[in-house]
Structure 1
């Protein structure tokens, strides 16, 4: 596997040149630079910000801190040059792995030369689901996602792909219950000077949900989050055809169209997740991290201050 994927649009938007060439790792990109809406710190007991400096921090334009948050597909086939890029150029020493034990064993069986521990880094196992295969193909089977639900043939409007939305809600709830997402936010809070990489199998679903929740917490507009999520469709680069053929060979997809649907990041899926789950069921991303993941108000404020910079 190799990663030659790049994007050439202007910086600071969802179509930025975010894809980074890290040998052997596909769909590797950063979240820094996205513009944020004003996100004031939570008020103290007297109804005002804890101190004046915090209030000033959020005045004016702000954005996600650059070169700090990175997401990707599994780095099991990373090359020596890729390791050099990861550590020397990007400064990543902490890697958070959302995959289950089952998925890791499958990779080791299919690719005997795969790496689990990358030299020079610390791998933190934070499985969203402890056992079972939760790759995109398996999510489609588990939650009844079908390419027939991707669009509404009787209307020009996109129908909500409920299967993926249910899957993403299950991801968010399971990660909150087992502490998966909490372990990463704690690390960020405790080590604000250490860039991190988080990934699942393809860097699409579990990775996409966590990225969306972090970005939403920091005030990144929904449209931008949706665009970032949708970038995964192009993020596979030359590996895309390999994924399609593998799905067809293993009968995980009946047709090429089905295979393409399985590995694609459909914008309407993330849009519905943000609107119907994060906003409606959780209240908002801040409430999700506090009420479901167990962070305190102060911890959430510190997390935001670590991830957001004033422009």
Structure 2
């Protein structure tokens, strides 16, 4: 068990640069969103490769241009899973072409707009994000339908949240783990949001607060390995292993694992 935790934590610079270097294959060019990428191409522990063109992860899709929607059609995407809550969707509804099924699985933002959150306080935001990352009942409720869709369909899917980094990052981590991708690679994919969202992260964003206009900390726009590790620790503490969690809560036991790998590996 300790070895699995160490593997999740260990990150090598060369491995990260490898993720950056393959961005020409992984990143799907979109004018109206960022962090839209294919999770294919990763090697598994037994030497297989995650298929390209099956699973896509993204930031919000509310600003898609006409060319972007044509790209979605070209990718043959039939279903989009949206992890955003009602408040996020109300101000930025997905702009999808006809024929794509939109499924809302709100996770972690249900109370935004109802309570005052100080987004400029880095420590408070850190605590808030840790709470989101360790909310296992919500995690199960929102991600299980995605796994079930993949099990019963061969059609490409997209799942996303607002920035495509936290809720989307956790979903990708669990899926790649189920496919047998090494833990270090899973962490690389998660942290790669800091590369794909570099332009957004470097923007100076000010928001109104009770004390006047304040600058949004860059850390709020980034991802940290500690956040994903909080999910791993929470799962292992309650279920003993990620495998037990997947089987007990997601309905992804040995038989389902084999189905997933048959569908998504080559």
User: Which of 50, 60, 79 is the matching residue for 1:94?
Assistant: 79
Flag structure 1 segments of 5+ consecutive residues without an equivalent. 1-8, 39-60, 109-114, 150-160
CA–CA distance in 2 between the matches of 1:226 and 1:96?
A: 22
Structure whose residues are more often helix by fraction: 2
Does residue 14 (structure 1) correspond to residue 19 (structure 2)? The answer is: yes
TM-score, normalising length from structure 1?
0.68
Partner residue of 1:184? 146
Residue aligned with 1:223, SS: helix
What RMSD over aligned residues (CA atoms) do the two structures have, in Å? 3.3
Residue aligned with 1:64, SS: coil
Partner residue of 1:250? 208
Does residue 281 (structure 1) correspond to residue 235 (structure 2)? The answer is: no
Shift of 1:163: 5.7
Partner residue of 1:37? 45
Larger radius of gyration: 1
Partner residue of 1:62? 48
Residue aligned with 2:49, SS: strand
Q: How does 1:45-60 map to 2 (within 5 A)?
A: none
User: Which of 163, 186, 211 is the matching residue for 2:172?
Assistant: 211
Does residue 298 (structure 1) correspond to residue 265 (structure 2)? The answer is: no
Partner residue of 1:146? 123
Shift of 1:131: 2.7
Cα 1:139–1:69 change in 2 (3 A) is: farther
Partner residue of 1:112? none
TM-score, normalising length from structure 2?
0.79
Q: How does 1:164-203 map to 2 (within 5 A)?
A: 164-170=129-135, 172-176=136-140, 178=141, 180-192=142-154, 194-203=155-164
Shift of 1:210: 0.6
Flag structure 2 segments of 5+ consecutive residues without an equivalent. 1-13
Cα 1:308–1:232 change in 2 (3 A) is: same
Q: How does 1:229-240 map to 2 (within 5 A)?
A: 229-240=190-201
Cα 1:63–1:138 change in 2 (3 A) is: farther
